[in-house]
C-alpha cells in the first residue's frame, strides 16, 4: 500500500481488514536508508512493547483497537517500507506492507508575468510558476475553468514551469491558474493578465492597418474639397449679383499677326478677332491659395500617418518585461539555413551577441554579462532584467552572399508586476 505523508505532520498506518482471531502483532520498518527497526509488539491482554530504537522515540503511538500505527511528527528520514505482521496462531500469519514516502508541504507558488508582447490585436504572454526550495513538485495550468494540456508548458530545472500563451486583446476576464502539487499536498495561485495586455505599451499604429490610415486620409481630402466647392459656389453667386465695377477685367492687345497668346496670370479665355486679342481673367488669388493650403494639409496628414505606420513596420515587435524577470526576443524574419553571421545589437551601436555559422556564440558586451542566452531557433533570452535594459534591440543576419536583413525589437522594462491578481484557491 502506497502512503504519502507530509513532513512535520502526522501519518497513521491502518490495516484495511483485521483477521480474527489473532494472538500477537508486530510493527517493523526498513527505512530508505536501509536501517531496520522493530517499532512495537503487542500481545492480547498485555501492554504494548514499544521498541527501544531512538529513531522513533516519543513520536510513535500504537492504537490497539484497530492495530494502527501513528507517527507524529513525521520526518523526511521516516520514509521506507513498514510491515505489520499478525500471528493468527497455529503457525499461520498475515502480513500487510505500507510503502511510506515523505514530502515537504507545497507552499503557495510564485506566479509571475515574465513578459508581455502586444501586437496587432493579440498579446503574447510568458508566465512563470515556481515553488522555491520544493522537491518532487509537478505543475499544471488552467485558463478560467479550462485545463491546459501539459505539453504546452515547459518544466524547467529548479522546480519552475513556464507557459507561453497568446490572448486576443478583446478577450475579457483572462485568468490563468497554476497548481503546484506533490503526492501529499498542493497549492495554487491565479493571475489576471488582461490589464497587462491593455497597458499603454501597445502602440496605436500597431493596431491600425495601412488601408484604414489611407482611407481616413482620402476621406479627409474629399471632405475638404467638398467644403471648398461649396465656398466657391457661394462666392461666385455673390459676384454675379455685385456691381458692374466687379465685372471681369479685360485686356486688349494689338498684335501684328493672327496668332495665339497665353496668359500666365490665371485662367485665360483667349479669342482672336482680326489683330486684337481679348482675354478675360477670372482668377481669385485668395481661393487658389486656400485650396492649395487645404491640399497641402491633407497630404501632410496622410504622409505623416504613413511614415508612422512604416516606422512601426520596421519596429516589428514590442516586448514588455519586469525587473529581475526574463524576456524572449523571438525573431519573425526567416533565417537562411546557412548564414555568415548573426549579430544582436542594443540601441543600434552596442554589440551584445555574435553568432557565426557553425561556431559558438560570443558575448562582447559586459552590460549583459551572464544574462543572455541564445537558442537554436535564434531567439535571444535576457535574464535578470534591469530598467537600463530598456531600449531598441536589433538582429542583423548576414547570409552567405553577404546580403543583410535586420529586425527590430523595442523592450520596455517596468518596476515589477509580480502576480497581477493573486488569489489562493482550491486545487483540482
Looking at the DSSP bridge assignments, the partners of residue 85 are 26, 95
CA-nearest of 322, 339, 325 to 381 is 325
- β 317-322/404-414 pair status: parallel
Q: Which domains does the chain have, with CATH numbers?
A: 2-103 (2.60.40.10), 110-204 (2.60.40.10), 210-236+249-314 (no CATH), 317-414 (2.60.40.10)
C-alpha to C-alpha distance for 355 and 397, rounded to whole angstroms:
10
What are the pLDDT tens digits along the chain (428 aa)? 899 999 999 999 999 887 778 888 999 999 999 999 999 999 887 888 887 778 888 899 999 888 999 999 999 999 999 999 998 877 788 899 999 999 999 998 989 888 888 777 788 888 999 887 777 898 999 987 788 887 766 666 667 888 888 888 777 768 899 999 999 999 999 988 877 777 544 444 444 555 666 777 788 888 888 787 787 777 666 666 654 444 454 545 555 544 444 554 444 444 444 555 444 445 456 666 666 666 666 566 555 655 554 444 444 578 888 888 888 888 888 888 889 999 999 988 899 999 998 889 998 888 887 889 888 888 898 988 888 899 999 999 999 888 889 999 998 888 754 444 444 444 44
pLDDT value, residue 421: 42
Please enumerate in sequence order all residues whose Cβ is within 8 A of that of 55, keeping only pairs 6 or more positions apart, or say none: 31, 35, 37, 77
pLDDT value, residue 57: 87
C-alpha to C-alpha distance for 327 and 418, rounded to whole angstroms:
14
Could you tell me the maximum CA-CA distance found in the chain, to the nearest angstrom? 152
CA-nearest of 2, 182, 184, 183 to 82 is 2
Cell numbers given for 372: 543572455
**Four-CA torsion 272, 274, 276, 277, nearest 10 degrees:** 0
Cell numbers given for 60: 510513535
130 and 109 in contact (C-beta within 8 Å)?
Answer: yes
137 and 181 in contact (C-beta within 8 Å)?
Answer: yes
pLDDT value, residue 230: 80
C-alpha to C-alpha distance for 188 and 186, rounded to whole angstroms:
7
pLDDT value, residue 271: 47
C-alpha to C-alpha distance for 272 and 255, rounded to whole angstroms:
10
Please enumerate in sequence order all residues whose Cβ is within 8 A of that of 246, keeping only pairs 6 or more positions apart, or say none: 239
pLDDT value, residue 364: 87
> What number of residues does the chain have?
428
- β 122-130/138-143 pair status: unpaired
Helices (H) and strands (E) in the chain, counts: 4, 28
Compute CA distances 389 → 119, 266, 284, 381, whole Å. Answer: 21, 61, 59, 13
C-alpha to C-alpha distance for 365 and 307, rounded to whole angstroms:
33
pLDDT value, residue 242: 58
Match 520596421 to its residue by C-alpha cell.
Answer: 314
Cell numbers given for 51: 521498541
98 and 81 in contact (C-beta within 8 Å)?
Answer: yes
Beta-sheet strands, E only, within 91-225: 92-103, 110-119, 122-130, 138-143, 146-148, 153-156, 160-168, 175-181, 186-192
80 and 32 in contact (C-beta within 8 Å)?
Answer: yes
pLDDT value, residue 305: 57
Looking at the DSSP bridge assignments, the partners of residue 317 are 409
User: In angstroms, how far is CA 91 from the centroid of its own chain?
Assistant: 68
pLDDT value, residue 272: 46
Amino acid at each position: 500500500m502506497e502512503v504519502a505523508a507530509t513532513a512535520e505532520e502526522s501519518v497513521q498506518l491502518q490495516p484495511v481488514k483485521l483477521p480474527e482471531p489473532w494472538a500477537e502483532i508486530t510493527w517493523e520498518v526498513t527505512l530508505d536508508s536501509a536501517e531496520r527497526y522493530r517499532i512495537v509488539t503487542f500481545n492480547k491482554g498485555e501492554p504494548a512493547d514499544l521498541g527501544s530504537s531512538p529513531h522513533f522515540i516519543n513520536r510513535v503511538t500504537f492504537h490497539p483497537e484497530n492495530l494502527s500505527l501513528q507517527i507524529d511528527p513525521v520526518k523526511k528520514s521516516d520514509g521506507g517500507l513498514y510491515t505489520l505482521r499478525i500471528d493468527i496462531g497455529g503457525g499461520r500469519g498475515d502480513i500487510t506492507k505500507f510503502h511510506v514516502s515523505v514530502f515537504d508541504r507545497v507552499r503557495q507558488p510564485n506566479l509571475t508575468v515574465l513578459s508581455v508582447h502586444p501586437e496587432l490585436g493579440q498579446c503574447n504572454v510568458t508566465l512563470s510558476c515556481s515553488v522555491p526550495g520544493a522537491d518532487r513538485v509537478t505543475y499544471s495550468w488552467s485558463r478560467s475553468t479550462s485545463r491546459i494540456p501539459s505539453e504546452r508548458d515547459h518544466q524547467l530545472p529548479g522546480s519552475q514551469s513556464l507557459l507561453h500563451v497568446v490572448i486576443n486583446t478583446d478577450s475579457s476576464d483572462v485568468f490563468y491558474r497554476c497548481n503546484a502539487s506533490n503526492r501529499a499536498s498542493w497549492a495554487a495561485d491565479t493571475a489576471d493578465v488582461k490589464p497587462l495586455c491593455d497597458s499603454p505599451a501597445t502602440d496605436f499604429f500597431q493596431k491600425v492597418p495601412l488601408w484604414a490610415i489611407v482611407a481616413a486620409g482620402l476621406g479627409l481630402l474629399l471632405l475638404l474639397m467638398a467644403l471648398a466647392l461649396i465656398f466657391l459656389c457661394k462666392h461666385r453667386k455673390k459676384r454675379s449679383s455685385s456691381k458692374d465695377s466687379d465685372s471681369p477685367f479685360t485686356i486688349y492687345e494689338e498684335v501684328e499677326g493672327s496668332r495665339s497668346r497665353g496668359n500666365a496670370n490665371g485662367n485665360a479665355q483667349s479669342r482672336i478677332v482680326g489683330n486684337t486679342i481679348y482675354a478675360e481673367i477670372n482668377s481669385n488669388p485668395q481661393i487658389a491659395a486656400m485650396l492649395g493650403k487645404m491640399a497641402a494639409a491633407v497630404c501632410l496628414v496622410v504622409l505623416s500617418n504613413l511614415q508612422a505606420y512604416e516606422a512601426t513596420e520596421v519596429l516589428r515587435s514590442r516586448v514588455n518585461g519586469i525587473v529581475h524577470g526574463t524576456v524572449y526576443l523571438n525573431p519573425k524574419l526567416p533565417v537562411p539555413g546557412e548564414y555568415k553571421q548573426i549579430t544582436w545589437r542594443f540601441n543600434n551601436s552596442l554589440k551584445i551577441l555574435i553568432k557565426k555559422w557553425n561556431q559558438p556564440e560570443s558575448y562582447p558586451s559586459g552590460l549583459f554579462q551572464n544574462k543572455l542566452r541564445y537558442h537554436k531557433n535564434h531567439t535571444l533570452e535576457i535574464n535578470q532584467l534591469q530598467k537600463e535594459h530598456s531600449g531598441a534591440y536589433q538582429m542583423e543576419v548576414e547570409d552567405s552572399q553577404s546580403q543583410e536583413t535586420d529586425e527590430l525589437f523595442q523592450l520596455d522594462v517596468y518596476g515589477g508586476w509580480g502576480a497581477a491578481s493573486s488569489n489562493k484557491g482550491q486545487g483540482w
